[in-house]
Amino acid sequence: MTDCRGRATVKTPAAARTGQRFPVLSAAACALTLIVGGATAAVASPAALTGVERAETAIDREYERLGGTDSGLGRPAGAETCGLRDGGCYRSYEHGGIVWSPATGAQPSWGAIRDAWAAHSFENGPLGYPVAGPACSDGICSQNFQRGTISWRPAAPATADLDIDNPENTAVVVNKERPLNPEDYAPEDLLSVDGQLLRAETAEALKLMQEAAAADGVTVRAISGYRPFETQSALYSGYTSQYGQEQADAISARPGYSEHQTGLAVDIAAADGACSLQACFADTPAGVWAAENAHRFGFIVRYPAGSSAVTGYAYEPWHLRYVGVDLAQAVHASGIGTLEEYFRLPAAPGYPAQ
Ligand SMILES: [Zn+2]
């Protein structure tokens, strides 16, 4: 266990720039950092309360649990505000905030970890909401979020470990600006659906989706799944030598930049193959059914109509990307069509200049 008082004079680079003392490093706040999780407020009869009342109660209870005005958060610095993504609410304090959402409960946020969270657009960014309070041990403080972790040690900037950067994670974002890391990544848990390989979780979700579609009288067939780096390399270099790079980029993803290399993407088709890999697939029963229901099984239509300036791809109503049920439902409910916009990432209309 770290002696936090020993670090009380340490300033983060950000705090040093603004001349502010880093608030978390008071003795009281330090005690606060040693509490791990357990912050979700229990309300006696939640059903009797509205969402806002529930949030207020949960935030107040969390603030009291942390020590109220004696906590590192200091005094309240504003009224509670709701209307955040996914039904969230927050309250600001002198040195940080407490943020609540139905899925994550009330969690505190302060200091360098909060600065790093802010730099990633708070709950609107790729990290989502905190799922626990910050915890410190062996001189490193870290806080877990819905889709990643932020870690911080004294005298160093906080670093974020984002699920969207990790190809093993179903929230990974791959586009023309964000190659897979490593570029020759290959998943190890592939299963076959309709003769196409997909990561196990994706394959299971696709099978459930196919059963549900069949129950509605619609056949959804998988026609393309995992594509290995080597396959894409051979394809792309063939196109490049035949047509030149510009044309090759227009008709094929560069190796290491294709969602199909994650094992989380699947191209679907109708039973009769009508409009396969064409925009008119959207009007087939399979295309209509997928657009309306895919999110319930953890899939999104990754390249929506009118979004090529963001995604770098024309409308592909057949290209589904598995992101997990929670994220797919949230993206669907938000009305935001692309992962780039949902996570507030830069648009990726084309490859960086080489
Ligand atoms: Zn595809």
List, for residues 150-182, the tens digit of each pLDDT value: 999 988 889 999 999 999 999 999 999 999 999
Catalytic residue, from 246, 316, 340, 341: name it.
316
Return the beta strands (E) in 18-147 as ranges: 81-84, 88-93, 96-101, 105-110, 135-137, 140-145
The alpha carbon of 259 and the centre of ligand 1 are apart by a number of angstroms equal to 7
Q: What is the mean pLDDT of the chain?
A: 87
316 noted as active-site residue: yes
| Confidence grade of residue 49 (pLDDT, cut at 50, 70, 90) | low
**pLDDT interval class at 27 (50, 70, 90):** very low
CA distance 76 to 13: 25
Cα(323) to centroid(ligand 1), Å: 15
The conformation of residue 71, written as its DSSP 8-state character, comes to S
Go through 215-239 and write b for each residue having 16 or more CB atoms within 10 A of its CB, e for each that does not.
eeebebbbbbbbbbbeebeebbeeb
Q: What H or E segment, with its residue span, contains residue 299?
A: strand 299-303
Q: Is residue 47 scored above 80 in pLDDT?
A: no
Nearest-CA neighbor of 66 among 103, 102, 95?
95
Q: How far is the CA of 146 from the centre of ligand 1 (A)?
A: 27
pLDDT of 211 > 50? The answer is yes
pTM to 2 decimal places: 0.83
Domains and CATH numbers, the chain: 4-165 (no CATH), 190-342 (3.30.1380.10)
